Structure formats: structure tokens, C-alpha cells
Structure 1
Amino acid sequence: MILDLITKTDLDDFKKELFELLKQTGVNQKNAVENKKWLRSAEVRHLLNISPGTLQNLRINGTLPFKKIGSILYYAYSDIVAVMNKGAM
């Protein structure tokens, strides 16, 4: 049986590689949101960096169209881009 010793340097290298992978995953998640056709409220709030109340105001005044299926609200990504391009926020 062969034993491999793990040194502190090995752990530090592993940590650096892991953080790099996590950073790349974060970027990929943002791209994944942009590639989705329909987004849920939390995704929209994160994308636009707005509060739940602001999102509610955008719904109420008709600035941001939405669809409600059951108890879940969905927003078309194309509508979000259109609102951002208009500068309505």
C-alpha cells in the first residue's frame, strides 16, 4: 500500500484551484440566467439588483410584464432587457 503525503502547500494549491473554479462557475451562472427565456422573481431581483418592493412596483405600474403560473411569477428575459434599455428604472 502506497501512502501519499499531503502537505500544507498541496492544500493551498487545492484551495486556489477551487476558488478559481468557483469564480468561473459564478460567471457561468450569470450567463445561464441571461440564456433563460423566463426568470423567476429572485433571479430578476438579482439581475437588476433591486429589492422585492421595487420589483412589485414595476409589476403594479405595468413597467415589467409578468406571467403568474400557480403562485410563481415569471418574467420574460426579453421584457427585462427592454425595460433596461428604456431606462425606466
Structure 2
Amino acid sequence: MSVEILTKEDLSQFKEELLVEIQRILRPGMLKSQKEWLKSYEVRKILNISPGTLQTLRINGTLQFTKIGGSLYYKYSDIIRLFETDNNVE
């Protein structure tokens, strides 16, 4: 088994590479391509919540929605606003 010793310079270089990679992933233009309206299953996936929790968010007015036919739609900007106001959905 070989042992490698990490120096402060190694860690600093790793930090810089990691930050560059995170910035590449989260570049500002990425959100622009997001759909404006999402269906319930997409919202549940983004928020990682159950159908019942999503229903509670609708009932208590925390998350606005639009019903077209039998489908419910949610504005992406409203979901982002929900993250900004309260990170504890469940």
C-alpha cells in the first residue's frame, strides 16, 4: 500500500479546481433554459416531496398553481421563490 502526502498547495489546487467545476455547472445561463411551467411530478422531483406535501403547499397557499383541464401547472419562478423564502418545505 502506497502512502501519499498531501501538502497545503495540493489542497489549495484542489479547491481551485473544485470551484471552477462548480461554477461551470452552475453558470448563470443554465437557469434561462428552464421551462416556465412545470407539472406536479416535476415539482415533486425538484423539491423532493410527496404528492401529499405538494397538495398541502397548494391548500395553504404556499405554492400557487394553475389548473388546465385535469393537470396542475406551477411557475418555475414560484418554486425558486419558495426556496428563497423557506428551505424547510417538509
TM-score by length of 1: 0.61
- Matching residue's letter, 1:67: T
Residue matched to 1:38: 37
Stretches of 4+ aligned residues off by more than 3 angstroms: none
Structure 2, unaligned runs of 5 or more = 1-29
Question: Could you give the per-residue CA deviations for residues 13-65 of structure 1, whole angstroms, max 9, x where no partner exists?
Answer: xxxxxxxxxxxxxxxxxx68x71000000000000000000000000000000
Q: Give the aligned length.
A: 59
Greater fraction helix: 1
TM-score by length of 2: 0.60
Structure 1, unaligned runs of 5 or more = 1-30
In structure 2, distance between residues paired with 1:42 and 1:70: 16
- Matching residue's letter, 1:71: G
